[in-house]
Amino acid sequence: MDDVKALLGVETLKEMFKNKFMRVLLVASFANLGSMAGVLLAVYVVSRIINIDPRVIFMAGFKTLGIGI
27-68: pLDDT as tens digits: 999 999 999 999 999 988 998 999 988 888 888 989 999 987
What is the total count of domains within the chain? Answer: 1
pLDDT-based confidence at residue 69 (cuts at 50, 70, 90): low
Query: Which of the 8 DSSP states describes residue 54?
Result: H
Q: Could you tell me the pLDDT band of residue 7, with boundaries at 50, 70 and 90?
A: confident
CA distance 67 to 59: 9
pTM, to two decimals: 0.62
| 37 vs 15: CA distance, rounded Å | 29
Residue 61 belongs to domain spanning: 2-65
